[in-house]
């Protein structure tokens, strides 16, 4: 009876020792997974708000500036001087000199690249810094297919944004916001501001809390990056195409998380979201390599594997020793029996 109770108690204890660590480890693993996802979700949401605010502020800037009576007055004066005296006249230069300091203030204070005054016929009448577009006609000239011409055409009707493109004058990617300028109900032209990619790049390269492999990047609706990858020596802005489960989900309007293969083919924890800006269709992705995110889990699993191997080795070694000992004992007993039989036979 005591032996049976001991066996039952031993089985129960062994079952407890096997099940409890397994359940505890699974709970720990799930909690760590949730914690890592919550972290990149937080990074994603904070960064999304920062980018969202940045572009909406630029949208608000151009909208407010285009409604400023001083701007409307400048358009009227420049248009009259241009058509009456020509772009090479002293009268035209005097008006430009009058507005240059004010527009320079806006450029430097707000961090723009440039500001353009374009009349409704497409003539670029004024720019804070001289660019290739300055003095050209955006409807009929050499730059009629350029992004500034696109934003001008849309800007005749409403505030509009045009995507980043390379600007050789400033050696940087730049984009444009445009808004119509009115005097009462009369359309005078379009005010255009040019903004640098460096502002956006600064936001996206902040990797605090993302470890050695975490990164944040934007993808445009053409499938190409609107940022530079931390894993590439060469710039990936407008160069690297990204087509992953995360980007496809985000472009369909979903906000979520997943463990996926990223654009490098590496397994990552990914948190994705559309930017939800009316004037652009971009998505934001925040990711960290699974190997780094689960380094603690991998370490625990490695230790458990080592312990399991040691236990198995000790168990098999013990069983082997016991087996050898029992075998030797059985052989000795058999030899003793044979010896006894031989002795009995001799005595008979």
The span from the CA of 127 to the CA of 215, in Å, is 37
pLDDT for the residue numbered 34: 83
The span from the CA of 117 to the CA of 38, in Å, is 47
User: Looking at per-residue confidence, does 347 or 268 come out higher?
Assistant: 268
Per-residue pLDDT band for 318 (boundaries 50, 70, 90) equals low
**pTM recorded for the entire structure:** 0.79
pLDDT averaged over every residue in the chain: 85
Mean pLDDT of 301-311: 59
Q: Is the pLDDT of residue 338 over 90?
A: no
pLDDT for the residue numbered 20: 47
Per-residue pLDDT band for 33 (boundaries 50, 70, 90) equals confident
pLDDT for the residue numbered 294: 82
The span from the CA of 189 to the CA of 132, in Å, is 19
Query: Which alpha helices (DSSP H) does the chain contain, by range?
Result: 2-66, 69-85, 90-110, 147-155, 197-204, 245-251, 290-293, 295-347
> Is the CB of residue 274 less than 8 Å from the CB of residue 251?
yes
> Is the CB of residue 178 less than 8 Å from the CB of residue 162?
yes
Q: Is the pLDDT of residue 16 over 50?
A: no
Per-residue pLDDT tens over the stretch 148-172: 999 999 999 999 999 999 998 889 9
Mean pLDDT of 250-260: 96
User: Looking at per-residue confidence, does 132 or 295 come out higher?
Assistant: 132
């Amino acid at each position: 009876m005591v032996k049976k109770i001991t066996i039952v108690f031993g089985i129960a204890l062994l079952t407890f020792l096997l099940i409890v660590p397994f359940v505890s480890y699974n709970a720990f693993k799930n909690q760590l997974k949730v914690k890592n996802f919550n972290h990149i979700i937080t990074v994603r949401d904070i960064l999304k708000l920062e980018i969202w605010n940045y572009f909406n502020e630029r949208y608000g800037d151009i909208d407010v500036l285009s409604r400023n009576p001083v701007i409307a007055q400048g358009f009227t004066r420049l248009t009259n001087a241009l058509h009456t005296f020509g772009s090479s006249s002293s009268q035209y230069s005097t008006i430009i000199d009058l507005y240059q300091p004010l527009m320079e203030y806006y450029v430097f204070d707000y961090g723009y690249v440039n500001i353009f005054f374009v009349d409704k016929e497409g003539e670029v009448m004024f720019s804070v810094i001289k660019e290739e577009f300055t003095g050209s006609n955006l409807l009929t000239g050499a730059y009629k297919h350029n992004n500034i011409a696109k934003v001008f055409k849309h800007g005749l009707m409403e505030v509009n944004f045009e995507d980043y493109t390379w600007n050789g004058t400033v050696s940087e990617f730049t984009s444009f916001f445009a808004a119509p300028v009115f005097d009462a109900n009369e359309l005078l032209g379009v005010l255009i501001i040019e903004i640098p990619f460096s502002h956006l790049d600064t936001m996206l390269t902040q990797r605090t809390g993302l470890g050695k492999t975490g990164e944040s990047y934007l993808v445009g609706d053409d499938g190409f990056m609107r940022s530079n990858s931390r894993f590439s020596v060469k710039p990936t802005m407008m160069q690297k195409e990204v087509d992953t489960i995360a980007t496809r989900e985000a472009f369909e309007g979903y906000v979520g998380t997943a463990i996926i293969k990223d654009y490098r083919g590496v397994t990552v924890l990914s948190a994705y979201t559309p930017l939800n800006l009316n004037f652009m269709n971009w998505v934001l992705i925040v990711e960290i390599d699974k190997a780094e995110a689960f380094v603690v889990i991998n370490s625990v699993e490695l230790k458990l594997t080592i312990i399991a191997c040691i236990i198995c080795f000790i168990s098999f070694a013990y069983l082997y020793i016991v087996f050898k000992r029992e075998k030797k004992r059985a052989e000795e007993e058999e030899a003793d029996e044979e010896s006894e039989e031989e002795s009995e036979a001799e005595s008979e």
